[in-house]
Structure 1
């Protein structure tokens, strides 16, 4: 997986995996936390047969640029990187695929840049309205999302070095992926997380997010937008959902069709880290859908 360093107009440099013919239809794949381009390693070869495939290490991850301020990781900055990356490669409209935080960015990009996002594929990433609403209205989802509050604690960072990274790998990542990530892949992730400032930068995505995560039993003021009209995602959209996800519960699919008129939902046998746990199901879902 050779990476190309690309300087963007947003002021950051990203390491990017490029595959496929440059004149083929473009697809950009966005990883989530705590990953990198490796999220898609089992999926890229198939897509590259008939697509121009672009797979960045997003800002803050691996050896890509790591701005120091929390405000540098707001979703609009990340969407800005996405569009700047497409510009740098001479790509106009493209299919966008995102998992986890990459999926959150993909939802926002589809809503704010419909001129560039032609089709959307979401893999276990909640729609922003449904997710925020569920954190107020669904006790189980609220309980499952308390890790976000822990990740926002800056005191966490100092323990994420050396043996602390090993513990993090086992408890927050590999624990959910069984034996799909080991050996060379594990060593590569530990190396990426060991890059100076990487863990803080990765966690800053949570800290920069405006999502409100009430504590269990808390009754905070309800954001007005939760009960107001919300703009629809007008792109043709495929949602691939691992039904064993313990962090994002089935409530994330409820009411999604009202917000995404041209929606296909494919449920697959996997937990949260679907591209690792069941990549063939992800490929099959995308191919059946028409990619």
Structure 2
């Protein structure tokens, strides 16, 4: 896999699909906390036949080294990669923490972003009592148990257990210092009062059963977006892998201008 050196560490990425621009503005997929670029396998396979698609392992995740301290730094990594690839305008597609990075990009570089897609993401971190207790317990329980509890909660009830276990194993490979540093970065992330500045068309896709970042929190920010489409899907927090076909379809229709209004998907 190709890598770009960022602060002395290699950042792994994929750059696929036609580079001639005929398929439209490139899509840039940004994964979430303790995940990696393979969360987007379904979407990459679908779009690579017709447009340029880029995805990356954020610092300290997947096959990328190093770490960062803030969401702003991670957004800077995305811009560094796109500059390296000579991509000017793009459509960021961010899941969870990746959605925070995407919003940061939209606010800092609006001239470069054609459309914005946020999947199971919010503009201000507000944890439920249960999530707060889980995070407080992070220093009292073995790290792998802490990660397992977070990932287990991320999936909607009834999701295949073996698949959940596979994602627990993958997430447990993320170094503890990276996990906790990025948790602090998410806790300090707050652009809720600025979402009205994000004036490009925006797709907000959220799982109805998301207890990590509840749908009510997404709707709180959605009302302030000047040009937003909301899709609610029968899934939990891990929408890209729980309902990949539904997400891909919603994304496909949005980037081609076929979607409008609030929609519910069963």
- Which TM class, normalised by the smaller chain length? 0.7 to 0.9
Unaligned runs of 5+ in 1: 136-140, 213-222
Q: In the aligned structure 1, how far is the partner of 2:168 from the partner of 2:15?
A: 20
Q: How many Å apart are 1:243 and its aligned residue?
A: 0.6
What is the correspondence of 1:183-262 to structure 2 with a 5 Å cutoff? 186=166, 190=169, 193-194=172-173, 198-209=175-186, 211=188, 231-262=196-227
| 2:58 match: secondary structure | coil
Residue 147 of structure 2 is aligned to residue 159 of structure 1: no
| Superposed displacement of residue 170, structure 1 | 4.1
Q: 1:5 aligns to what?
A: 3
Matched residues in 2 for 1:13 and 1:29: separation? 18
CA deviations 1:26-77 (Å, max 9, x no partner) are 111000022101111121100112121111000111231224xxxx321111
191 and 266 in structure 1: CA distance in 2 versus 1, 3 angstrom threshold: closer
Is 272-281 or 253-262 further displaced after alignment? 253-262
The C-alpha deviation readout for 1:249-270, integer Å capped at 9, x for no partner, is 2322334344211100011111
Per the alignment, do residues 126 and 159 of structure 1 end up closer, same or farther by CA in structure 2, a change over 3 Å counting?
A: same
Determine helix, strand or coil for the equivalent of 1:240.
Answer: strand
Larger Rg: 1
**Out of 135, 146, 151, which is 2:132 matched to?**
146
Question: SS state of the match for residue 97, structure 1?
Answer: strand
1:270 and 2:251 matched? no
Q: How big is the alpha-carbon RMSD for the aligned residues of Structure 1 and Structure 2? A: 2.9
Q: How does 1:19-168 map to 2 (within 5 A)?
A: 19-24=16-21, 25-67=25-67, 72-128=68-124, 131=125, 135=126, 142-146=128-132, 149-150=135-136, 155=139, 159-160=142-143, 165=144, 167-168=145-146
| Number of residue pairs the alignment of both structures matches | 250
The 2-side partners of 1:27 and 1:229 are apart by 24
The CA distance in 1 between the partners of 2:161 and 2:244, in whole Å, is: 11
Asked if structure 2 preserves the Cα contact closer than 8 Å seen for 1:100 and 1:125, the reply is yes
Measure, in 1, the Cα distance between the counterparts of 2:133 and 2:95: 18
Mapped contact 1:181–1:276 kept (Cα < 8 A): no
